[in-house]
Every structure is written in structure tokens, then in C-alpha cells.
Structure 1
Amino acid sequence: MKALLRDDGNWGVRDEAFCLAVRSYSGDIAQLLLQHGADPSRRGPDELLPLREAVESGSPALVEALLHNTILGRRPKSELQEMRDLARHWHETGVETELRRRTGSQDPVACTRVQDDEYYSIDEFTLGGTTVRDGHGAILTDLEELLGARTSFEELMDRALAHTCQDHTAWARATIQLAGRRDQATWTAAAALRTNPDPSHRLFGAEVLRLTHLFDDRDEDPFAGPALDIFIDWSAEETDPAVLTEVLVALGEHIDPRTEAALLPYAGHPDARVRRAVAQGFSDWSSPPAFSGDARTALLALMADPDAVVRKTACRTVAEARDHNPVFADAMAALLDDADRLVQLAAVYGLALHNDERCVEAARLLGPPQRGSLEEDSYLDAVWRYEWRRDGR
């Protein structure tokens, strides 16, 4: 679909495709079409899926598509309030319980994990021929925000923690909304979770704190200093790998000399998620004009890590840094024979950015990017840009 949208210049088809996507409950495709210029306002209300059906489907992506700003004005406040109450009913009752009530079936419920939009996944339940996703908590959060309600920190946290996966849409909606408040009360509530005995609570608190700083585009950035201080201390005491990963990712978003010292102890951590966070977090911007000797040693080791994502992440960090030490170019060249294609492409990308001629032949051997892969496109585009610079064009 991404490839077709890039190649197709018929904008009118996008609007028709959007209608088809929402009527077939394909919220992820509807979102993609919106990103590529579909305009729902050109379609009549009778051509779109009723909002009630979208809410009952449990797909936040589908509901979001039907609440797009081009058609939101068609929705009276009373309808949004009614849909909020419907989402709350599903959320508080539970998908499985509500499905059994509606179908009358006592058969086993089939449950699968599915992608709901480009970034987040969700659980999908099927019983008696009816399929519903469990995103009603996220839908409720969205509708409350549209209606101007300020849901408490505790209630949003409960909606997130009702799901065990951090990539569930309900979790994401809760942390993003809380982080967007950027106030001291929310910061204090999230920071207090650092000492909670339950790792899921600590993870939620760490993500809210990280996003609060990340989303703050004010010049004074009042949460930058407190965020760095709390994450440095937190990294030294956290034992849960998932929480530690979130803390280290947060540290890597700060350009400060103290970041490197906090990351280095975890470069050899047994959990690959932690090592990826370390590889992503190193920055030579905090130690100009190059990586420190310890960081360079750690990055070279991470580029040879058993985990392919760790290797790729370390390679990208080195590629995009200002430190063009020849040892890094040789390490990237060694990855041109890696078993993982994306690692090979990251190495080609890095060599191109380091103005190393070896990228040209390596790119030729890899061939064209896979159709629809923006990541491969960006990696190989760097080689074209290198050749342009080399030839003085």
C-alpha cells in the first residue's frame, strides 16, 4: 500500500479508498491513506462507517480516522459524549464478557495480537462469528480529550496497566496524554512510581517522565535538568530489564557528559533490549570532537553483538556521529558480509556518510531497495549522495 501510494498520482482514488478502508474496519489502512492526502470531508456521511460501529469494533485507529479534523465538525458534542459512554462500557465490562453477553456463546474465545496502526498493537477477540479489538480504553481516552475532560493520572495509569505490553495502544494513549500536560503535578506523580515494587508501575512512570521532557519544546525546558538527574540515579539501581531499557533510552535523549558514564556499565548487559538502548544512547555531541575512548570501545563491541538489532543500532550511531575515526569505517566494512540485510544496509549507509568508497560496490551487490521499504530507501540514498559529492556535482 505504501509503495502504491508513492507511485500513484490519482488523488481522488485516495478518498474512495479511505471509505473502503473504514467500512472494512481497516483502521491502519485508513490512517495510511490520511497520511498520504485522503480527504474524508469529500465523502458524504452515508458513505462512511457509523462512528458507533467503529467504537464497538475496539480499534482506536479506526475511530481516530473517523474523528479526523476534516470531518470532526460534523460530530455534535452529544454524539461524542454518547460514544465516550459506549467506550467506557466496553472498557469497564471487558471485551470477552461483553462478547459472551451479546453472542450467548460459551465457546472458547480466540485471541490474537494484531497491529492496529503504524506504531501500536492490540488484542483481537473472536467469539460466535464476532470479532472485536480491546482498544476501548484508548478510544475512551481519545474521546475524553476531545471533550476537554482532564482524566486523573491514576485512571489513565489503570487503563494502561490493564494491558501487559508497553506497545498496546491504550498504554501509548495514556502516557502521551499525561506527558503532554507538562505540569508539576503529573511529573511528581510519575516520579513517585520510581520506588513502586511493581515493575509495570515503574515502567509507566519512567515513560511518562521521558516523554514529558521529550515533548517539551519550550525554550526554557524546565524538565530537562530534573529528568537527567532522576534517570542517572534510577539507572544505577534499576534491576528490571524492561524498565532499565526505558531509563537508558531516556538518558540517551540528553546531550550531557554524564550520559555516557551512566550508559557504559550496561554495554555488556545480558538483555539485548538494554544493549540496544546503550548503542542508541551514545553521542559524540556530549564529548566533542569525538567519542571518548571508552565509548569507542563499547561501540565497536556492540557492532559485533550477537543480536542483529544491536549491531544495526550501533552502526547507525557510529554512522551519524562526527567521529570519523578510520577504526569505525573498518568496523562498518566488516558488517558488509553480515547475515542480516538491514545490518548490511546500515553499514553501507555509514560508509557513505563517512565518505568511504567501499559503500558504492557494497550497495551494487545488495541491489535495489525492497519495494515499499522507506528504511532501505534512506540507507541507499546516502550512497547516491556520496557519489554526488565525490564527483563534484
Structure 2
Amino acid sequence: MVFANGGTATLVKTGDGDMNEDGLDGRLRSAVQAGDAKSVRELLDGGANPDTVDANGLPVLCAAVAAYDEPVAEALVEGGADPDHVLPDGTTPLWRAVDGGSPAIFSAVLGGEPRLRLSESARERLLVLARGWCETGAAEELRRRAGVPNQARTVRVQDGEYDWVDQVSVGGLVVRAGHAAVLTSLEWAFRVLTPVDELIARAVEQPDDEHVCWSTVRWILAERRSFETWSAVVAHRHHPDRAHRRFVLAYLRARGLFDSSPYYAKKENELLATWAAEETDSEVLAKVLDIFTEQEHPDHEAIGLRYAGHPDPRVRREVPYALSGAGGVRTPAARAALITLMSDPDAGVRFMACTVGMPEADLLPEITRALLLLASGPATDMRGGVAAALAGSPDRSPAIADALVALLDDDDQIVRLEAAYGLVLRDDPRIAEAIERVGPLGDGFEHDHRADALWRWRWQKEKAAGE
């Protein structure tokens, strides 16, 4: 067996018990091969050797790394598998994780305190490996290792729970091209403070916030909680490339999860206020407004009124939140603008305006008209939100109930559930039919307030019938 890192399978025997296929270690090998992380944890808890070797004579952790099996690799390392175990070819499981280019696998195998655990030479060796992949490129490095000029085959695969990465194959060798993210994580783990501009350059090579490199750079910069880092990142809001400006916004949102200090909150609010007034790119402006309107600021209404007639609906969808008014009190100009947005050509703008205006009783007639049109309109992707808004509306008119009944024909079960829930709240005579049209609810609804309301209604009816 040949690995992408150039090593070959070598029989390694760590003890007679490891070769007992009928014992815990044999079952552990089978669980790793099957990708059964739950069984792996149970076997390790039961006394299986975490460094058991597989059929190729390598620690089972290497098999999980080669298979890009993050849950199994994580279970093994947490159960005591040694990521630094030196193999016959001079590599280690951690070295192979870096070589494989999957940030998810790398994180699972990294282990605790790597800066203290590894020698300086071992740390440098891993950094050199990751840098080499970044400089050469995944396809070219695979061609070099395979010794063939074959064209690379690239497919997008999920890496971890939320991110994606390109998986590249050449001549039977396979690697994930996430080495820039792995390098960034390694540097942070070893407390190498890479210049901010260099990190952002890595991120925007793939200007997609679900790409592993983008998300890795974003989170690590958010963890570097210094004013120097903050200043260097937000300076990119002036960059001519929109990807750099989008990255700044992603960074600011991530920072909010790490640091809620009033000092930074004030600085970022002022920064976003200035940025909202200056940004000319519609895509970026919409994202600026999205974050800016999450916090109170005296310029909200002025910014909202400025962009209420913006030609891009992505921008107008954010305007209603800017028109909320200080302390929830709108000026006449803001109220008029919000009502106008309820008749906007874009369905998303109309829905956002209705959502923001819902708490105001005097806006209910306009909101009801807009929601009824949305419920019967062509924007099917918004039916769930519209159904929820109609269900929770204080309007108890027959028109709302009839609209909820019509939504019971929707293909989406969540839309039907929202509609039935709204009928329960209104004690509508068509509830029994509505519950039948919702259909059986699968797993995940045990604590759902809508499902609970339907169950309680049915239980009360059955109880009353039995008395």
C-alpha cells in the first residue's frame, strides 16, 4: 500500500495481544475499518489498545487519517492514541495528517499542547511540510510523488461539519488541498504570529466563507485578540478587492463570539457606521448593514432612509432593521419608509419589512395584506417564514385562517406544521384535518413547541371524548 506521503505499509507488531483478532484490539481494528466512531470509543473505554496496529501493520490512527475519518481519528486520539508515534518510514500519524491536507483530520489528530509536546525540530518539520504543499500546489506535488504527468482530478468534498475543500487525485494518490488552512492552524498552535496580510491573502484565494482556508483564517485571527491584529484586519475594508472587504466582515462577526468588551464593540460600531455610508459595492454593503443593524447606533435611521430606495434588493432587505427606531420608537419618516417597503417589488424585502413592523399594532393592516400576498405568491422558498409570521400574527381574521389552510398543501412539512400550529392558536374548526395533513413527524420534534401544541390539542379532544 502506497500513501500520498510516499510511505509504504510496514508490519509493526507491538505485542502478541495486538494480533488477537478475537480480542478487544481485533474488534477495534474492525470498528476503525468500518468507520464506527461510537464502537471505537466503547472499545477504548473497555480497555482496547489505542495504538493497535491494523492489517497493514500501522497504528489504526493512520488508517483513520488515510480514510479522512475525522470522528474515528478524534475518538482514537482522545482515547490515548499517540499522534507522535514514529513509524518505520520516519513519519508520524500527525505528520500524515498534515500531509493529507484535511484541516478537520489535522485538528482531530493534533493532540494537546503541541507547542510544548513537540521538539523545535519536529515543529519545524511539520511547518516545512505544510509550506511545501502550499508553494507547490496539490496537483503538482501529487504528480511529482506519483512520477506521472497525469491530469489531476478534483472534486469538492465536505471537510468537518461546515466546510468544504478540493480533493485532488493523480495516479492513484489522493490528497485534500487544505494545506494553507493546516499551515495556518499549525502556526497558531506553535504560536507563530504570521503577518495578518499574509493570512488574509491565504483566505481570499478561495473567497467562499465555507472554504476551509477562509474559515480557518477567520477564526484564528478572531482568537488573536490584540489591537494590532484588529487594526491590521479592518484596514482591509479599503482594499479594492471585494473579497478582502467581505473577509473583514466575516472576521468582525466571528470576533463577536470571542470578545464582547465594550471597547471593541464601540469601535466596531463606529467603523460599521462609517463603512455603511461609504461602501459602493452592493454585495458588500448588504453585509455591512446586516452586521451594523445588530447593535444600536444613532445613525441607523439615517442610513436606512438613505438606502430604502437602493436598486439592489439585497441592500433593501437590510433596511427594515435600520428603521427600527431608537428604543423601538420610529419617526414618521421611518414609518413611511417601512410601509413603502411592504410593497417592494422584491418578496424578501416585503417579508423583512413585515417582520420588523409586526410589534406595532397600527401597522398590522398593511402587514396582513403583504403577508397574504406572500403566502399565495410565487416565492415558495419563503413560505416557511411567511407561515410562521401568519401563525403568530395577532390578526384573528378569517382571511389569515384561510391562508393557513391553503398552506397545508405545501410540499414542505415545516410549512404545513407552522400552518397547523397557527390554526391551533386560533382554535379553528379545521384543526383535525390540518394535523392529518401535516403527517407523521420524525425525529427531532420531541421538544418542538408547534408539535407539542398539536399533540396537546389532540390529547384534549381524546380526553373529552372519553369522558
TM-score of the superposed pair, with normalisation by structure 2: 0.63
The DSSP-based 3-state class of the residue aligned with 2:279 is coil
Q: Which has the higher contact order (CA 8 A, sep 6+)?
A: 1
1:41 corresponds to which residue?
78
Corresponding residue to 1:331 among 361, 370, 382: 370
CA RMSD of aligned residues (A): 4.4
Larger radius of gyration: 2
Distance 1:355 1:142, change over 3 A: farther
Is residue 296 of structure 2 the alignment partner of residue 258 of structure 1? Answer: no
Structure 1: 5+ residue stretches without partners:
1-9
Distance in 1 between residues matched to 2:275 and 2:339, nearest whole Å: 25
Structure 2: 5+ residue stretches without partners:
1-35, 44-60, 86-91, 416-440, 461-467
Mapping of residues 181-330 of structure 1, within 5 Å: 181-213=224-256, 215-218=258-261, 221-271=262-312, 273-278=314-319, 281-282=321-322, 284=324, 286-289=326-329, 292-294=334-336, 296-297=338-339, 299-301=341-343, 305=346, 310=348, 314=352, 317-318=355-356, 322-323=359-360, 325-326=363-364, 327-330=366-369
Corresponding residue to 1:346 among 360, 380, 385: 385
Mapping of residues 50-129 of structure 1, within 5 Å: 50-67=93-110, 72=112, 76-78=117-119, 82-129=125-172
Distance in 2 between residues matched to 1:372 and 1:388, nearest whole Å: 14
CA contact (8 A) 1:312 1:343 kept: no
One-letter amino acid matched to 1:256: H
Q: Residue deviations 1:201-245, cap 9 Å, x none?
A: 333344434544564223xx2122222222222222222233323
How many residues are treated as equivalent by the alignment?
A: 362
2:413 corresponds to which residue?
368
Distance in 2 between residues matched to 1:122 and 1:211, nearest whole Å: 20
Distance in 2 between residues matched to 1:114 and 1:266, nearest whole Å: 39
Shifted more, 257-266 versus 156-165: the winner is: 257-266
The DSSP-based 3-state class of the residue aligned with 1:151 is coil
The DSSP-based 3-state class of the residue aligned with 2:263 is coil
2:436 corresponds to which residue?
none
One-letter amino acid matched to 2:212: T
One-letter amino acid matched to 1:99: L
Distance 1:150 1:261, change over 3 A: same
The DSSP-based 3-state class of the residue aligned with 1:333 is helix
Q: Residue deviations 1:297-332, cap 9 Å, x none?
A: 365246x625xxx3697279449x634542324423
One-letter amino acid matched to 1:231: L
The DSSP-based 3-state class of the residue aligned with 1:126 is strand
Distance in 1 between residues matched to 2:351 and 2:93, nearest whole Å: 43
Q: Residue deviations 1:333-366, cap 9 Å, x none?
A: 3333344554111112222333556476466444
Q: Residue deviations 1:167-211, cap 9 Å, x none?
A: 322122222222333332123223333333333333334443454
Q: Residue deviations 1:116-137, cap 9 Å, x none?
A: 2333333332322333222111
CA contact (8 A) 2:342 2:350 kept: no
Is residue 161 of structure 2 the alignment partner of residue 149 of structure 1? Answer: no
Q: Residue deviations 1:250-276, cap 9 Å, x none?
A: 212222342243244445545454445
CA contact (8 A) 2:196 2:232 kept: yes
Distance 1:146 1:372, change over 3 A: farther
Distance in 1 between residues matched to 2:443 and 2:313, nearest whole Å: 25
Q: Residue deviations 1:125-156, cap 9 Å, x none?
A: 23223332221111112222222332221221
Distance in 2 between residues matched to 1:373 and 1:92, nearest whole Å: 47
Distance 1:91 1:311, change over 3 A: same
2:180 corresponds to which residue?
137
Percent identity for Structure 1 against Structure 2: 32
Distance 1:289 1:170, change over 3 A: same
One-letter amino acid matched to 2:95: R
One-letter amino acid matched to 1:241: S
CA contact (8 A) 1:124 1:134 kept: yes
Large movers: runs of 4+ above 6 Å: 370-374, 385-391
One-letter amino acid matched to 2:373: A
